[in-house]
Every structure is written in C-alpha cells, then in structure tokens.
Chains A and B, each alone.
Chain A
C-alpha cells in the first residue's frame, strides 16, 4: 500500500516552456503532499507543501509564481514550472502522507532538463 505515482519521469524541453508534473496517490487519500527538488549529488530540499483545496505553502526562497502548485483532489497534486530556464533543470520529487502522519511516501521523481 501507500503508492505514489509521479509523471512524467523525464522531460527535456526548450527554455521558456512551461512544464507540468503530476503526483498521484494511488491507493490512499492525501490531504497533504510535498514537493522537493534535488540537484546532482545533493540532498533533497523542500520546496512547498501542497494542501488539498487550499493554497500551497512555499519555503523561503521558492518563487510561488515560478512554481505553481495545484492540489484539486485528494489524490492529485501538480507542480507547474513556468517559463522554465536552464537553472530550473533538476530532479523534482513529490511525496504524500497517509492520514497526515509520517512517514512520507515518495514518487519516483521527474528529471527536468531545460535546454
């Protein structure tokens, strides 16, 4: 149980493109989902907390207009990287909790490459 699916697994696109990443909880309802970013050979950094039916909470230094988060249902959160540039290239990973309790269950991540 507690499976989180993330799609797509890999995106390569031109600078200026907006990219949408989906995070789904397959066998449970997730009122809260989290989005992390990981640069090569580095650790994960929390970007934002996604709450179903309300606005996301962003970590300091993360631009909310750049990284749009929508959590319209109990099983789906989306992250849209708007007008992506090469510096946005990274590994983006989502996670979700069951019943609002730890541990977090992670998706397989999305490798975003902006040319």
Chain B
C-alpha cells in the first residue's frame, strides 16, 4: 500500500500558538483519521472525517478534508506542552465492507516549547 506524505516532518512552536499539519494521500478513501503517538507508545485516535465531509471539529482540534486535492489538515489551537507528540494521518481505502487496515502518513513530530 502507498503511504501518504505529511508536512512538516517536524514543527516546533511556543505554547499557546496554533499548530497546523498537512497530509496528502494517493488513493480514493472511505475515511481519513488523525492519530497521536507519544514517544514509544501506541496510537491515540483523535478524529475521523468521512470522505463526504469537508471539516470537523473536536475540542481544540479542527480537521479539513479536500478529496479533490487528496489532502487534509489538522489544526491544534492554543497548543499546550502536553500536545508534544507525533501526529499521523491514516486512510482506509474504499472496499466492499468491514474495516480495513490503515495506510499511514509519515507523521509530523510536534514540539511545544513551554
């Protein structure tokens, strides 16, 4: 399966600022998801956006999806030190039914400076 691309690969900002990460993918999708991974740990699901949705919010998170450009963005507002982590987008391809394995982007490592 092909992996998506994410940019930037690394992002360092001051606490309180907003952080924006972008993701591109290559195939038609059912959903696009964003996950967070703290160092050496498993993944935590943040938000899922369906292919027929264009924008979704959850707390301080805002996700957009542009299927014509095969891209998505994740905005974290009012960042906190605890937001320091790696962030991955992941897509599942259109299939006949049931959940499919995910294709992950390369990830953005976010560092929030206190």
Contact = CB atoms under 8 A, between A and B. Distances in A.
Interface of A: 4, 6, 32, 34, 36, 42-46, 49, 59, 91, 93, 95, 97, 100-109, 111
A6 B42 contact: yes
B57 interface: no
A103 B45 contact: yes
Interface in B1-53: 1, 3, 30-31, 33, 35, 40-45, 48
Contact of A42 (B98, B102, B106): B106
14 contacts: A34-B102, A42-B106, A44-B88, A44-B90, A46-B102, A49-B100, A95-B43, A100-B97, A102-B33, A102-B92, A106-B43, A106-B44, A109-B42, A111-B40
Interface of B: 1, 3, 30-31, 33, 35, 40-45, 48, 88, 90, 92, 97-107
Contact of B99 (A4, A91, A100, A106): A100
B43 A101 contact: no
Nearest to B92: A102
Q: Which 3 pairs of residues, A with B, have the shortest CB-CB distance?
A: A46-B101, A97-B99, A106-B42
A95 B92 CA distance: 14
A43 B88 contact: yes
A6 B41 CA distance: 11
